[in-house]
Amino acid sequence: QVQLVQSGAEVKKPGASVKISCKASGYPFNSYYMHWVRQAPGQGLEWMGVFNPGPSRTTFAQNFQGRVTLTWDTSTSTAYMELSSLRSEDTAVYYCARSPSAGNDYWGQGTLVTVSS
């Protein structure tokens, strides 16, 4: 069955970077886009960006341009999201989510990132 398993919770200081992993199984890894979505405490969902494995192309939401890096390791079927220059407003649960091009049909369990001095 399809599974997306994310890395564990992180606590970071302002200005630092965080890198979250998302290990996929149960489907052909390179055949689906991988999106990243975050949710601040008590807030709604915010789309961050997407990795298209075909042409190895990334697209980001305007809010995250220049701060987010999405990478992909085919050998381990793992996607990564790195967010830099962290600030307190980046405290959130971060999700990876697969897309067959029409919505996100499978999601990781979420990774809580806390930014605090």
Partner 1 sequence: EIVLTQSPGTLSLSPGERATLSCRASQSVDSYLAWYQQKPGQAPRLLISGASSRATGIPDRFSGSGSGTDFTLTISGLEPEDFALYYCQQYGGSSWTFGQGTKVEIK
Which is nearer to partner 1, 62 or 117 (by Cβ)?
62
Q: Among 75, 77, 70, which residue's Cα sits nearest to residue 2?
A: 77
Which is nearer to partner 1, 28 or 117 (by Cβ)?
28
What is d(CA 48, CA 38) in angstroms, rounded to the nearest whole number? 7
Site for partner 1, rule CB under 8 A? 35, 37, 44-47, 50, 59-62, 95, 97, 99, 101-105, 107-110
Which is nearer to partner 1, 21 or 104 (by Cβ)?
104
Contact predicate 52/65, CB 8 Å: no
Q: Among 68, 64, 62, 4, which residue's Cα sits nearest to residue 33?
A: 4
For residue 56, the minimal CB distance to partner 1 (Å) is: 16
Which is nearer to partner 1, 102 or 117 (by Cβ)?
102
For residue 75, the minimal CB distance to partner 1 (Å) is: 26
For residue 86, the minimal CB distance to partner 1 (Å) is: 22
The C-alpha torsion from 94 through 99 and 102 to 105, rounded to 10°, is -70
Phi-psi map region of 65: left, alpha, beta (phi>0 left; psi -120 to 50 alpha): beta
For residue 19, the minimal CB distance to partner 1 (Å) is: 20
